[in-house]
Amino acid sequence: MTTLQETIRPQAKSGEWKAIVVLILLIPVLWSPPFLFRIFLFQPFNIPSGSMTPTLVVGDYVFAAKYAYGYGRYSFPFAPSWISGRFRAAEPEYGDVVVFRTPKNTSVDYVKRVVGLPGDRIQMRQGQLILNDRPATRVALKAVAAGSTCGVDDGAKARRWRETLPNGASYVTLDCVDNGYYDNTDAYTVPPGHFFVLGDNRDNSTDSRLMSTFGFVPMDNLVGRVTRIFWSLDEEGEPHMERLGKVW
């Protein structure tokens, strides 16, 4: 018994001193402007898929404002799992492009657009968003080449719509095919403390319409609001300067 205590105690003290030294060395890093900027204000993300085309495309790099909805478990890297709720909490608004985690996969950051808030009734009918039993206002725009974003023939065209939500948020959505898999859904009522998201590429987005694997997103799973594209590269790896700017 005595021998075991004498063997362990010096190791414990050594480990404690090492931890103290590491913390002291980290102080300049933890309080450096770049670190504070990323942890508390804006976090950079890159866009790996076309689910938010044409608003965000593969090759875009964006900033998400972490302070927009308050701070919670997913606001900080390596936050302990017992943290719940959010400090300085605020709800997203219709049309916000948000970064979040889903309840079914909390290890992956997703980016989608908020179209439903607590108490809202959401449905898709023939590809059109129905919000609280009223069709969202939309205006047809000029069709564009579908390309790889839609996964169809090179010569195919994709329709575009200018969609406007009740609060005036307006953005462009992509319609690759008629009567797509998610173009007609059941009606879903958003529960308290949750929101409903869609990808702007409506026929190629896994989002809240797929209840079995995605569904409603808890407010506590918010990471931040996408505010700006700060860098973008095209398919050849060349700068895509015309894409830089605010995200609507």
User: Nearest to residue 106, comparing CAs of 131, 78, 135, 133?
Assistant: 78
Catalytic residue selected from 112, 205, 208, 232: 112
Instruction: Give the CA angle between residues 149, 181, 156 to the nearest 5°.
Output: 35
112 included as an active-site residue: yes
pTM over 0.75, yes/no? yes
- Cβ atoms of 244 and 230 closer than 8 Å: yes
Q: What is the mean pLDDT of each run of 10 residues along the chain (248 residues)?
A: 33 49 48 52 88 94 91 70 70 96 89 98 96 96 84 78 96 90 94 97 94 93 94 87 89
What's 70-82 look like in SS3? Answer: CEEHHHCCCCCCC
**C-alpha to C-alpha distance for 176 and 180, rounded to whole angstroms:** 8
**What distance separates the 2 farthest-apart alpha carbons in the chain?**
83
51 included as an active-site residue: yes
Catalytic residue selected from 51, 75, 205, 208: 51
